[in-house]
């Protein structure tokens, strides 16, 4: 009992010691141990979230992020050792020269010594950015391989957005700022990158570095949340067709810039958009999103809107005639001309022909007839058909249609405003607004919102799907729409758009040519500069796509909406139509020589029967009595005939028409050795059929 009590007392002392140690550590020495703990970890660092990708409608990657690094030296780092730097200088200079290739080894040596003498804390080692793999490689170079406190080598990380398809829809996809913000995020600069910036950027995490034993380890305390992915409506194949057609024409006529937009009629999805600006002779790149940002005078494409309003209001019929004289018309002291005034004008033409031939005087007289004393009614009509509707596009910085009203006290309504507005001046409309209007004509009068995004996805899961949004269920009366459609077809087949006529696909549309205002200098000061347009849809009878092409300031050739923009439109339409063309083979006449059943080799009947049944091939097996058959093709190409191969024991079998496997099996079963030459099916054998077999003899089979 005494021994037991001794053990209990000893254990009690141990327990009391443990409790005292816990109390002492937790309360009395708390600050001391917290300070020790602080030394065992480094400051928390951000874990950058992956910026979401942007894809085309067919799943091709259009924009993704890649880290890039600027290289710097801090020659006043706390642990910087000059002797160590000097000992490694020659080898470091040589390796930097071989890797970066912008200086000789001597040049890098002088550059590094210059940095050391300057005692700079942010000395640029290399002027350009390097990739992550290059950075990791350089980090292993002599001297730079040491810790940054000793070498002074450090980097500044940037995020670079890469576009695998280079310039395709570049301004619509957009850019990001390279600098990583203090929050650890990259920020969208323009285009869809800016529109969906908050979704693309994600949320950065937190990473702490803690000492474990003698080393350090990363501990992710807050996981980063990667950005979402954007699926656009752009079709890469159609985008490539559109951009090439536009750039080829811009180079040919040495134009300042050009725009082409392809829209799917029923959905409003933008399948292709190209905005090319001239950098220098023969070199074009996406410099500005002209299609959505430019608030420009539309020119003669606007005549369709004017005619639609007049037809809807009962002001004119397509068969009504208008005297446009010799192509020159004076109104309120202002001179109005038609494009053929130097040839004597059109004289008396129908209202439909005023559209076909794009007569300024013709459309102006129609509008003056109905609205000269009430111009507000005409503008109300333009508003009614949706031409002034604000689209609120997904592209930041997009413009809007500006069609002024005579009752607006903030604008000056001149005596000549009405007739000049009727043929496309006195208004400012972005090209995509004009396209939306023409798309409504192609879509049986239903105006739909242009859309650039199909879906937003998070790790493959669809978060949001964008559907077609209807702006106007009908922009005009059905009879008016029918007349307008016929007029647009007439422009291409009989009017100013003859250059757009195609033998591949029927096109409907309207040409437009407008002088570009030079501000206070007017339209002609310093020489005329033009903007030429063609807007329409195809196929004309069952429209699937609408398209607008705008070319600005061509330096070569006569400015023509049909001959310049129209030719680009035609090239796009033909290639897009051909690309989507499908042929129903069931409607084609059968080739008299066509073999409608598969070519079959002779051989084992059970194997051949299985294959023919799986392929659903008709055959006649009524006369099959053996296990070996040979196909025969009859006059009826849809039915496979079969004949027996007689195999008699002790006699050389007939292997002609068999494949190699079956022929070898048949001959070896008969007791013969086989030598094969060629590939295909057996066409000849060295031993005659029916000869008595001598076991072990060799038979040579030739296959073709």
Residue 251, domain CATH: 3.40.710.10
Q: What pLDDT, in 10s, does the model give residues 189-240?
A: 888 988 888 888 888 777 665 655 555 555 666 777 888 999 999 999 999 9
What is the rounded distance in angstroms from the CA atom of residue 491 to the CA atom of residue 493? 6
Decide which of 579, 613, 630 is a domain's last residue: 579
Helix (H, G, I), strand (E, B) or coil at 148: helix
Helix (H, G, I), strand (E, B) or coil at 64: strand
Q: What's the angle, vertex CA 364, arms to CA 549 and CA 383, rounded to 5? A: 65
With a cut of 90, say whether residue 34 has pLDDT above it: no
Name the residue with higher pLDDT: 470 or 624.
470
- What DSSP line would sit under 543-596, residue for residue? --EEEEEEEEEESSS---IIIIIIHHHHHHHHHHHHHT----GGGSPPPTT---
State percent of the chain over pLDDT 70: 87
Q: Is residue 684 part of a domain?
A: yes
Contacts of 91-99 with C-beta under 8 Å, sequence gap 24+, read 91/142, 92/141, 92/142, 92/143, 92/144, 95/141, 95/142, 96/125, 96/126, 96/138, 96/141, 99/134, 99/137, 99/138, 99/141
With a cut of 90, say whether residue 383 has pLDDT above it: yes
User: What is the biggest distance separating any 2 CA atoms in the chain, rounded to whole angstroms?
Assistant: 137
Q: Which residue has the tokens 């949004």?
A: 469
* Run of H or E including 126: strand 123-131
Both 494 and 430 in a single domain? yes
Both 300 and 363 in a single domain? yes
Name the residue with higher pLDDT: 407 or 545.
545
- What DSSP line would sit under 487-549, residue for residue? HHHHHHHHSTTGGG--SSS--EEEEEEEEPP-GGGTTTTTS--EEEEEEEEESSSS--EEEEE
How many structural domains is the chain composed of? Answer: 2
What is the per-residue pLDDT for 671?
A: 87
Q: What pLDDT, in 10s, does the model give residues 80-96?
A: 888 888 899 999 999 99
- Spell 519-542 as b/e; 16+ CB within 10 A means b: eeeeeeeeeebbbbbbbbbbbbee
Residue 656, domain CATH: 3.30.10.20
Helix (H, G, I), strand (E, B) or coil at 169: coil
Q: What pLDDT, in 10s, does the model give residues 482-497?
A: 999 999 999 999 999 9
Tokens representing residue 29 in the block = 């020495």
Q: What pLDDT, in 10s, does the model give residues 105-162?
A: 999 999 999 988 988 888 999 988 888 888 889 999 999 988 887 888 988 877 777 7
Tokens representing residue 545 in the block = 């796509």
Q: Which residue has the tokens 């689209």?
A: 391
Cross-strand bridge partners of residue 458? 461
626 closest CA partner among 651, 608, 638, 613 = 608
What is the rounded distance in angstroms from the CA atom of residue 157 to the CA atom of residue 71? 9
Q: Is residue 204 part of a domain?
A: no
Average pLDDT over residues 452-463: 90
DSSP H stretches of helix in 374-527: 375-384, 417-422, 431-442, 478-494
What is the rounded distance in angstroms from the CA atom of residue 293 to the CA atom of residue 429? 9
Q: Is residue 153 part of a domain?
A: no
Q: What's the angle, vertex CA 566, arms to CA 432 and CA 477, rounded to 5? A: 55
Residue 7: which residues within 8 A CB-CB, separation 6 or more? none
Both 568 and 662 in a single domain? no
What is the rounded distance in angstroms from the CA atom of residue 594 to the CA atom of residue 494? 44
Q: Is residue 571 part of a domain?
A: yes
What is the per-residue pLDDT for 635?
A: 45
Residue 499: which residues within 8 A CB-CB, separation 6 or more? 560, 562, 563, 566, 567, 570
Q: Within 13 A of 466's CA, how many CA atoms are on the CB side?
A: 21
Both 384 and 439 in a single domain? yes
What is the rounded distance in angstroms from the CA atom of residue 186 to the CA atom of residue 176? 7
What is the rounded distance in angstroms from the CA atom of residue 60 to the CA atom of residue 185? 25
What's the gap between Cα 435 and its chain centre?
A: 19
Cross-strand bridge partners of residue 703? 678, 682
Tokens representing residue 407 in the block = 């009752």
255 closest CA partner among 277, 270, 235 = 277
Both 564 and 682 in a single domain? no
What is the per-residue pLDDT for 221?
A: 66
Both 243 and 356 in a single domain? yes
What is the per-residue pLDDT for 527?
A: 35
Average pLDDT over residues 404-429: 89
What is the per-residue pLDDT for 238?
A: 93
Decide which of 545, 579, 613 is a domain's last residue: 579
Q: Where are the beta strands (DSSP E) in 385-433?
A: none
What is the per-residue pLDDT for 155?
A: 86
What is the rounded distance in angstroms from the CA atom of residue 398 to the CA atom of residue 430? 8
Helix (H, G, I), strand (E, B) or coil at 659: strand
Both 665 and 527 in a single domain? no
What is the rounded distance in angstroms from the CA atom of residue 454 to the CA atom of residue 56? 9
Mean pLDDT of all residues belonging to the chain: 85
Helix (H, G, I), strand (E, B) or coil at 677: strand
Tokens representing residue 132 in the block = 């992550």
Q: Within 13 A of 453's CA, how many CA atoms are on the CB side?
A: 21
Residue 73: which residues within 8 A CB-CB, separation 6 or more? 112, 115, 120, 123, 125, 151, 152, 153, 154
Q: Is residue 447 part of a domain?
A: yes
What's the gap between Cα 591 and its chain centre?
A: 41
Name the residue with higher pLDDT: 163 or 643.
163
Both 574 and 612 in a single domain? no
Residue 204: which residues within 8 A CB-CB, separation 6 or more? 46, 47, 48, 49, 183, 184, 185, 224
406 closest CA partner among 415, 398, 397 = 415
Whether the CB-CB separation of 163 and 232 falls below 8 Å is answered with: no
What is the rounded distance in angstroms from the CA atom of residue 277 to the CA atom of residue 288? 7
Q: What pLDDT, in 10s, does the model give residues 567-615?
A: 999 999 999 998 876 666 566 666 655 555 666 777 777 777 777 777 7
Q: What pLDDT, in 10s, does the model give residues 438-456?
A: 999 999 999 999 999 999 9
Both 611 and 471 in a single domain? no
What is the per-residue pLDDT for 525?
A: 40
What is the rounded distance in angstroms from the CA atom of residue 141 to the CA atom of residue 134? 11
646: domain range? 603-703
β-pairing verdict for 187-188 and 176-177: antiparallel
Whether the CB-CB separation of 311 and 481 falls below 8 Å is answered with: no
Q: Is residue 145 part of a domain?
A: no
Q: Within 13 A of 487's CA, how many CA atoms are on the CB side?
A: 30
* Run of H or E including 182: none
For residue 394, is the peptide bond before it cis, meaning its omega torsion is within 30 degrees of 0?
A: no
Q: For the chain, how far is it from start to end, CA to CA, in angstroms?
A: 106
389 closest CA partner among 434, 333, 439, 339 = 434
62 closest CA partner among 50, 53, 70, 75 = 53
What is the rounded distance in angstroms from the CA atom of residue 139 to the CA atom of residue 163? 28
Whether the CB-CB separation of 476 and 313 falls below 8 Å is answered with: no
Whether the CB-CB separation of 326 and 341 falls below 8 Å is answered with: yes
Residue 503: which residues within 8 A CB-CB, separation 6 or more? none
> pLDDT category, 51, cuts 50, 70, 90?
confident
Average pLDDT over residues 45-59: 81
Tokens representing residue 246 in the block = 């536009």
Q: Is residue 668 part of a domain?
A: yes
Q: Is residue 127 part of a domain?
A: no
Both 573 and 655 in a single domain? no
CA R_g for the chain? 40
Both 407 and 519 in a single domain? yes
> pLDDT category, 526, cuts 50, 70, 90?
very low
Both 348 and 463 in a single domain? yes
Residue 520: which residues within 8 A CB-CB, separation 6 or more? none
What is the rounded distance in angstroms from the CA atom of residue 317 to the CA atom of residue 307? 10
With a cut of 70, say whether residue 502 has pLDDT above it: yes
Q: Specify the DSSP class assigned to residue 113.
A: H
């Amino acid at each position: 009992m005494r021994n037991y009590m001794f053990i209990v007392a000893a254990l009690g002392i141990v327990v009391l010691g443990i409790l005292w140690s816990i109390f002492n550590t937790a309360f009395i020495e708390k600050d001391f141990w917290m300070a020790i703990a602080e030394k065992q970890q480094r400051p928390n660092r951000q874990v950058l979230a992956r910026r979401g990708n942007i894809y085309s409608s067919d799943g091709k990657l259009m924009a993704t992020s890649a880290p890039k690094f600027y290289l710097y030296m801090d020659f006043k780092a706390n642990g910087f050792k000059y002797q160590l730097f000097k000992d490694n200088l020659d080898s470091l200079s040589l390796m930097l020269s071989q890797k970066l290739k912008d200086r000789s080894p001597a040049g890098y040596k002088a550059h590094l010594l210059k940095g050391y003498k300057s005692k700079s804390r942010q000395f640029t080692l290399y002027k350009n950015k390097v990739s992550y793999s290059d950075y990791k490689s350089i980090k292993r170079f002599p001297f730079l391989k040491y810790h940054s406190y000793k070498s002074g080598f450090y980097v500044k990380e940037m995020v670079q957005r890469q576009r695998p398809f280079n310039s395709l829809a570049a301004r619509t996809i957009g850019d990001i700022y390279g600098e990583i913000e203090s929050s650890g995020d990259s920020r969208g600069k323009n285009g869809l990158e800016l529109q969906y910036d908050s979704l693309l950027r994600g949320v950065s995490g937190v990473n702490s570095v803690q000492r474990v034993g003698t080393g350090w380890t990363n501990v992710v305390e807050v996981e980063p949340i990667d950005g979402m992915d954007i699926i656009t409506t752009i079709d890469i194949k159609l985008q490539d067709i559109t951009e090439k057609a536009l750039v080829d024409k811009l180079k040919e006529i040495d134009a300042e810039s050009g725009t082409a937009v392809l829209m799917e009629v029923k959905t409003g999805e933008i399948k292709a958009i190209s905005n090319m600006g001239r950098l220098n002779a023969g070199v074009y790149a996406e410099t500005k999103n002209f299609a959505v940002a430019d608030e420009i005078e539309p020119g003669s494409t606007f005549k369709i809107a004017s005619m639609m309003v007049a037809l809807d209001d009962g002001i004119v019929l397509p068969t009504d005639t208008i005297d446009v004289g010799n192509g020159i018309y004076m109104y309120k002291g202002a001179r109005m001309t038609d494009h053929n005034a130097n040839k004597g004008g059109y004289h008396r033409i129908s209202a439909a022909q005023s559209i076909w031939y794009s007569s300024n005087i013709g459309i102006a007289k129609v509008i003056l007839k109905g609205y000269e004393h009430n111009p507000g009614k005409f503008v109300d009509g333009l508003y009614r058909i949706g031409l002034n509707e604000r689209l609120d596009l997904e592209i930041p910085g997009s413009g809007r249609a500006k069609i002024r009203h005579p009752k607006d006290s903030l604008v000056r309504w001149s005596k000549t405003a009405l007739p000049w507005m009727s043929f496309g001046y006195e208004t400012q409309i972005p090209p995509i607004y004009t396209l939306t209007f023409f798309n409504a004509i192609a879509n049986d009068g239903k105006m739909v919102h242009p859309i650039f995004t199909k879906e937003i996805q998070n790790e493959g899961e669809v978060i949001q799907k964008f559907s077609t949004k209807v702006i106007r269920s009908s922009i005009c009366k059905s009879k008016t729409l029918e007349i307008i459609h016929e007029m647009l077809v007439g422009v291409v087949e009989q009017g100013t758009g003859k250059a757009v006529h195609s033998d591949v696909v029927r096109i409907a549309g309207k040409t437009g040519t407008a002088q570009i205002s030079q501000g206070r200098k007017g339209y002609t000061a310093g020489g005329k500069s033009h903007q030429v347009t063609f807007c329409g849809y195809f196929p004309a009878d069952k429209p699937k796509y609408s398209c607008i092409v705008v070319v600005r300031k061509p330096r070569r050739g006569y400015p023509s909406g049909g001959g310049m923009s129209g030719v680009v439109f035609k090239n796009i339409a033909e290639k897009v139509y051909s690309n989507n063309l499908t042929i129903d083979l069931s409607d084609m006449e059968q080739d008299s020589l066509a073999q409608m059943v598969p070519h079959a080799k002779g051989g084992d009947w059970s194997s051949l029967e299985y294959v023919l049944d799986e392929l659903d091939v008709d055959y006649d097996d009524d006369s099959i009595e053996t296990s070996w058959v040979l196909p025969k093709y009859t006059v009826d190409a849809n039915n496979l005939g079969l004949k027996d191969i007689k195999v008699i024991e002790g006699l050389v079998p007939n292997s002609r028409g068999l494949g190699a496997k079956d022929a070898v099996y048949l001959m070896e079963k008969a007791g013969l050795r086989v030598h094969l030459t060629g590939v295909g099916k057996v066409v000849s054998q060295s031993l005659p059929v029916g000869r008595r077999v001598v076991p072990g003899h060799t038979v040579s089979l030739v296959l073709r």
